[in-house]
Chain A
Amino acid sequence: MRRRSFLLGAGGCLVALIGAGAVGYSQVPVIPKRPNPDPASALGWIRFEEGRYTFTLPRAEMGQNIATALKQVACSELEVSWDAVDLSLHDTSLPGVKPTVGSESVQLFAEPLAQACAALRDAVAAGQTTGTIDVNPRPLTDLRVFQAEAFQGPSPTIEQGQEIVTGASLYAADVSRPGMLYGRVLRAPAPTEVASSPTRWDVAAARAISGFVAVAEECGAPIGQAHGLGIVADRPGALDQIADALSVDWAIDGVHPRADVIAAVDVDTTLSDGPLPHSVIDGTPAEGSWDVDLRIDIPLAAHAPIEPRAALAEWDNDRLTVWVGSQDVFYIRDVLTDAYGANASHVHVQSCRVGGGFGGKTICTVEAEAAALARAVGKPVHVQWTRAQEFALAFHRPPSSHRIRARLSGGRITDWDHAQVSSHIMFTSAVLPEWMQAGTDRFAGDGGVARGMDAPYALGNARAAYAPLRLPVHTGPWRGLGAGPNALATESAIDELALAAGADPLAFRLDHVTDARLAACLTRVRDMSKWGAAPAAGGPGVRVGRGVACGIYKGVSYAAAVADVAVNEAGRARVTQIWCVHECGLVINPDQVRAQCEGNLVWSIGMILSDNLPLETGRVTAETFGDAPIPTLTETPPMTIDLLTSDLPPAGAGETGIVVGPGAISNAIRMATGQRLTRFPLDPGQLAT
């Protein structure tokens, strides 16, 4: 099939367009709210005008530095210098692209971009500056980008790096408009899935605050079932004072049936009611006694980006413009268009650099609040959530509860049974209407919860099944979706099996992995870490240990990690060194793939030592980083990261490390203390001597 792309002449400029879904390696399903774009919905990503190129980034830039990697692709294929190409972040005038999720940006977008740039390069070389051409996508071997030597040089300075280090305006909260006001939508101190609404408030007291502008009952859709009350001020500091002065009374509709979340998410209770409804591996393990029978519980956790989500909305009659820091501007456009009944062309959403996404900035929340408040007061309104709102109103990593049973014979795994109960990730209550929830729960399950339950080993007669559970708190995609928690559970079980078999845990894994690329990662990390050597001694009373884990993310990215830990007499654990090997096919920007590994390993430390969002009757009670800490510089050990590269098609790097880091750390603690962690985060009291 011949695919077309176009060079369009308009006002002396030249634009290359190509269908995003038309080219690419594998189409891994993502959040199903938007299908892959079809070839007809073409994208204009690269443009040539008066001797310069403009690259409109078709992804959200949120720290994966994808602008840098894809600009490398463009410059390489255009055969132009770094300075000849200007970067532009996309808005909703670009034909819709998939949300920036699932570590897909290089995997799915590098080749179409390269094809467009190659066509543009040839057209410009032929002297064409306007007009329309047909593009026949060429074989990968004809694209410079996919030649092994393409990216051998040093990585360029990251795009927008200069702006970051000089404090220039980049993020949604940095945007300013004439006459701009500051807004907030107050909501009840109640779970988001319990109906609540404001009943009474003291406007007179609020009006006495200097800077008060308005109270707005029309303040956008509820978040879950939490209806809000909007406030607007002409200075940001007045919002706290107005909120206090209003002393809003709230009607809260009772207690959620699963208000005790920890008790509700209990795999053994669910199993006692019968088999779990959704299958990932559908073999039949034999009945009988087990060599390993392990229960693992992983709590609710926040994304905790340092940027609380923000938006600025401005109306011009029936036209709405919103500046956002989002992983999906098109979804926001569609939600707001639906909300206001406007023609889609009347809602314009501009993406800004995202101050940390991690899967959490994928739906429409603060953007709808800003749009409603701006409409209410007839002026541009800026809304940035407080840290407490981030914890209370955003969706989070679901709590999950795992039971893994396994049996050995002759040093090999013969039977495996992994059962999991978790709240939702894909079909989250945060976006799915209640009338659809029963249907998806019964028929579709939740692919996000399932992700990574297919442990990459020869498991004998294996079963993996799960049950999704609706909770009073919103849960959803969080870096790696289910893959992080599932791998922590399965890598813990594999380690226990190795111990039961009297085998070295790394050799046991090599004996059972079924994929040569994964085996290569394990072998490399074994050599790099000098596996088998004792970790450095930790001083009097300090127990040290070394652990390993490995895994595959979404079937395309591979990693293995070794961690050393030191546990003191009080039971406090410190990770002292991590080695990590990552393989994701062809690498465009090795430095930034390394950076993603580093970030994932810091997240791995958090998964074991700190991630936990406290709840009370189903409501998140954390308000500050003191209540829900994230890893710090002091907790971050030296890391040695090695990239195995190949000329296989490029895959993702944003979420692989979180499949291996937590298991390696937890297994190291097991080796140091003799105790298997089964409830996270680590409770030091459990390991005190």
Chain B
Amino acid sequence: MEFILNGTPQSIPEGWRDEPLLYLLRAHLGMVGAKFGCGVGLCGACTVIVNGVATRSCITPSESLDGAEVRTIEGLAEDNTLHPVQQAWLDLSVPQCGYCQSGQIMTAVALLEEIPNPTDEEIDAAMDGNLCRCGTYNRIRAAIHRAAEVV
């Protein structure tokens, strides 16, 4: 059983197939960008992209990933050049505590791949399930618009 993780084949060992993808990434593979926030898919901190779709890794069984293409925040930058969404996040100083931002960024990346120049309503529809307790929402919205100009 294996899947493609940020472009590289990755096997899922026997003992980890019961685990949610979030723990496979964090505990088995040591990739800690995706965060545990609620464990039931309600906050979005664990969001990664599976087969092009923003997906809650905390409720995605690893065994369901055979053959899937998974992208995480660790795979966004290319050759030390940040993805436009990452760069927009820095340019507008979006993060406060930062804990939710990996999930926010991955949801935004998936949105922009589907809708290159989203309206505010489309941003609302895509991003509303990604919670941020610090209240960075207006900067998230602005950073998506900024990244859309570049993507």
Contacts and interface: CB of A to CB of B under 8 A. Distances in A.
Interface of A: 62-65, 155, 157-158, 160-162, 164-171, 173-174, 176, 182, 210-211, 235-237, 303-308, 353-358, 384, 386-387, 591-592, 595, 598-603, 624-626, 630-634, 636, 638-639
Contact of B93 (A211, A591, A626): A591
B4 interface: no
Given A211-B15, A633-B124, A634-B124, A166 B76 contact: yes
**Most chain B CB neighbours (cut-off 10 Å) among A157, A164, A169, A307:** A164
Contact of B42 (A164, A211, A626): A626
Contact of B40 (A308, A601, A624, A638): A624
A167 B45 CA distance: 12
Contact of A600 (B27, B82, B135): B135
A64 B27 CA distance: 29
Contacts of A167: 31-34, 72-74, 102
B40 A632 contact: no
Contacts of A386: 39
Contacts of B34: 167
A126 to B, nearest CB: 37
A63 B137 contact: no
A-B pairs with lowest CB-CB distance, top 8: A167-B33, A602-B135, A355-B99, A63-B97, A63-B96, A167-B73, A599-B135, A164-B98
B40 A161 contact: no
18 contacts: A157-B90, A164-B95, A165-B73, A165-B95, A166-B33, A210-B18, A211-B15, A235-B19, A303-B133, A306-B43, A353-B98, A355-B97, A356-B99, A595-B136, A625-B38, A625-B131, A631-B137, A638-B138
B14 to A, nearest CB: 10
Contacts of B133: 303-306, 356, 358, 630
B27 A210 contact: no
B145 interface: no
Contacts of A599: 96, 134-136
A155 B131 CA distance: 26
Contacts of B23: 235-237
Contacts of A155: 93
A631 B136 CA distance: 11
B3 interface: no
B30 interface: yes
A62 B89 contact: no
Nearest to B100: A306
Nearest to B75: A167
B43 A634 contact: no
B32 A174 contact: yes
Q: For chain B, which range describes its interface: under 10, 10 to 19, 20 to 34, or 35 or more residues?
A: 35 or more
B57 interface: no
B134 A356 contact: yes
Contacts of B90: 157-158, 161-162, 165
Contacts of A157: 90, 93
A289 B15 CA distance: 74
Given A595-B93, A599-B134, A633-B124, A165 B105 contact: yes
Contacts of A591: 93
Contacts of A305: 97, 99, 133
A306 B15 CA distance: 29
A632 B39 CA distance: 18
B88 to A, nearest CB: 9
Contacts of A235: 15-16, 19, 23, 27-28
A358 to B, nearest CB: 7
A63 B97 CA distance: 3
A173 B23 CA distance: 12
B141 interface: yes
B54 interface: no
A639 B72 CA distance: 32
A164 B132 CA distance: 14
Given A164-B101, A307-B99, A602-B135, 19 more contacts: A65-B96, A155-B93, A158-B95, A161-B89, A165-B73, A166-B73, A166-B86, A167-B31, A169-B32, A171-B99, A237-B23, A306-B37, A306-B45, A306-B131, A354-B97, A356-B134, A386-B39, A387-B39, A624-B42
Interface in B107-148: 123-124, 127-141
Contacts of B26: 174, 236
A627 B30 CA distance: 32
A625 B76 CA distance: 29
Contacts of B27: 182, 235-236
Contacts of B105: 165
B98 A632 contact: no
B33 A306 contact: no
A603 B141 CA distance: 18
B86 A636 contact: no
Nearest to B135: A602
A457 to B, nearest CB: 28
Contacts of B42: 624-626
Contacts of A62: 97
A598 B136 contact: yes
Interface in B36-78: 36-40, 42-43, 45, 72-74, 76-77
B93 A158 contact: yes
A165 B86 contact: yes
A80 to B, nearest CB: 22
A63 B98 contact: yes
Contacts of B131: 306, 625, 630, 632
A62 B43 CA distance: 19
A592 B30 CA distance: 32
A170 B97 CA distance: 11
Contacts of A162: 90
Given A160-B98, A164-B95, A306-B37, A63 B134 contact: yes
**Most chain B CB neighbours (cut-off 10 Å) among A165, A173, A176, A602:** A165
B136 A173 contact: no
Contacts of A355: 35, 97-99
Contact of A598 (B20, B95, B128, B139): B139
A636 B73 CA distance: 26
A356 B97 CA distance: 5
A339 B120 CA distance: 53
A453 to B, nearest CB: 26
B135 A165 contact: no
A176 B19 contact: no
B98 A308 contact: no
A303 B16 CA distance: 33
Given A235-B16, A306-B133, A161 B93 contact: yes
Contacts of A64: 96
**Most chain B CB neighbours (cut-off 10 Å) among A169, A210, A355, A631:** A355
